[in-house]
Copies of this chain bind each other. A is one copy, B any other.
């Protein structure tokens, strides 16, 4: 069989029975799946359509740079004002020697200099359906690798339950499904649901529950399952061994696992498959910066935003404590976080101001430790993924890079709830490390001894950021339309706060609106 013969066969088999039904199926399948269309939303402005028009972009984060990139491709003259000395905004990867500045501290990243020893202190994962960010990764040649979010070997820990011992995710999931299935099977057999189930469905439901919950076929009871692992080792070996005893149902109900954590991978943005760029998330802003860096004025914080008769006038400092300069432009794309924007003198409308004032940012904190040994892999067979605890640190992330290599950077805390977030934000960097180690010990006895050093980021104290991402999922209407010539951007104007996909979609929306206005077809 040659390749050409095979090709002919394929064309035959496709050309054959296909016809209108196949075309309908194709369209229907695509409509049902959708992402094809989402990808088509990528901007494609006519080259040169922006010639002679100017845009000032506020903020060289992912949103601002995406806007500048698309505008520049269409011929707009762009100036990007970036408050800090660095592009990327909240997309921040910490590596050996980097400075992490907060309003009241300065840390130098202590990690060894190796390509797998980094911490993504801002965004750290890209879901498969974030088509626009993934489209840029493809276009820019940003190499991706799987980010492991859902690892069944990772741990659930609740200080007050199961004697304070962490339990492997696979056991919690298996046992909860087992108990749910057993209870529902019982109710079905007691005829408690006869009015809503036909006789045929009853049989099917029981059959389904046996498989869903790994029930015993004969009595429909849940007595544990090897899905949760074996007693002495997680896997079978020469012989199958004995399955773990099921966890106590009452304890499971009293633990907080099912409130959120247990269903984490079912939330759309946490669904596998997820990705991270090889070598650090900042590969994305670096790729943008390589394309629009010449337009960026670094260390140029915005001091004033004014509407003019012809567009917009933005005053900024020229370097830290430098003279003031002004940029006049036909349009502005403002990707400054609302938490910072609200304190910049402006002449926005009252509606715009109220909307900006109303955006609250999450008190996100991350702590990244360098471990001398990948004890989570070596001792516990945990490769990537996330363990959960009801302690302040909330999560421990095991690195999705450098498997089996020497050392590793563990995210020893990822906090977004208000109270623990504020507690960690208030601490000195050194105290955060101590606190995160003490809590990590509850999941991994000996944890502290394995950690060589660490670095933290409390986003509330990050200059020119003042928070992690907008709390709440409906962006204020007033920020989704322009105020004069000023178009707002950033994840804060989308239903994807805290996600880079929101940042680039917002940039596209702003650019598209500017394009329509510049072309005279809009307001």
- Quick one: closest B residue to A243, CB to CB? B268
Contact present for B152 and A13 (CB under 8 Å): no
> Which of B228, B233, B434 interacts with A13 by CB under 8 Å?
B434
- Measured between alpha carbons, how far is A368 from B220 in the docked complex, in Å? 40
Q: Verify A238–B381 contact, CB threshold 8 A.
A: no
What number of copies of this chain does the assembly contain?
A: 2
Taking CB atoms and an 8 Å cut-off, the chain A residues in 123-146 that contact chain B are: 127-131, 134, 137-138, 144-146
Say whether, besides A9-B433, A238-B509, A233 and B38 are in contact (CB < 8 Å): yes
Contact of A454 with B6 in the complex, beta carbons under 8 Å: yes
Selected contact of A151 from candidates B36, B273, B496, CB within 8 Å: B273
A362 within 8 A of B: no
Please tell me if the beta carbons of A211 and B263 are within 8 angstroms of each other in the complex: yes
Cβ-based interface call for A150 (8 A): yes
Of A181-189, A309-317, A338-346, the one touching chain B: A181-189
Which of B241, B266, B505 is in CB contact (< 8 Å) with A173?
B266
The reply to whether B130 and A10 contact each other, CB–CB distance below 8 Å, is: no
User: Which of B36, B150, B204, B434 interacts with A253 by CB under 8 Å?
Assistant: B204
B212/A258 in contact, CB under 8 A: yes
Contact A208-B258, Cβ < 8 Å, known A35-B234, A445-B25: yes
1/0 per residue, CB under 8 A from B, across A1-25: the answer is 1110111011101100010001101
B254 in contact with A32 (CB, 8 Å): no
Q: A137-B404, A168-B33 are in contact. Are A269 and B494 (CB under 8 A)?
A: no
How far in angstroms is the closest Cβ of chain B from A239?
A: 5
Given contacts A131-B381, A177-B266, A271-B170, contact A474 B240 (CB under 8 A): yes
Residues A379 and B148 in contact in the complex (CB < 8 Å), given A266-B174, A473-B240: no
A128 to B209 Cα, complex, angstroms: 27
Give the complex CA separation of A268 and B471 in angstroms. 37
Given A3-B453, A184-B184, A196-B183, also A233-B150 (CB < 8 A): no
B449 pairs with A14, CB closer than 8 A? yes
Q: How many residues of A contact B (CB 8 A)?
A: 151
CB interface residues, A 401-437, toward B, < 8 Å: 403-404, 429-430, 433-434, 437
A272 within 8 A of B: yes
On whether the beta carbons of A183 and B193 are closer than 8 Å, the reply is yes
B150–A37 touching, CB < 8 Å? no
Q: Which residues of B contact A381 (CB under 8 A)?
A: 33, 35, 128-129, 131, 134
In the complex, are the beta carbons of A30 and B449 less than 8 A apart? Answer: no
Q: Which of A46-54, A75-83, A287-295, A382-390 is the interface stretch?
A: A382-390
Asked if B226 and A268 sit within 8 Å, CB to CB, the answer is yes
A234 engages B33 (CB within 8 Å): yes
Q: Which of B130, B236, B268, B496 contacts A496 (CB 8 A)?
A: B236
Cross-chain pairs A/B with CB under 8 angstroms, 28 sampled: A1-B430, A5-B430, A6-B453, A23-B445, A26-B446, A29-B445, A32-B165, A33-B234, A33-B380, A34-B234, A35-B381, A128-B383, A134-B404, A138-B404, A144-B403, A146-B384, A146-B400, A176-B208, A183-B188, A187-B188, A187-B193, A201-B250, A204-B253, A235-B501, A237-B495, A238-B509, A239-B475, A240-B495
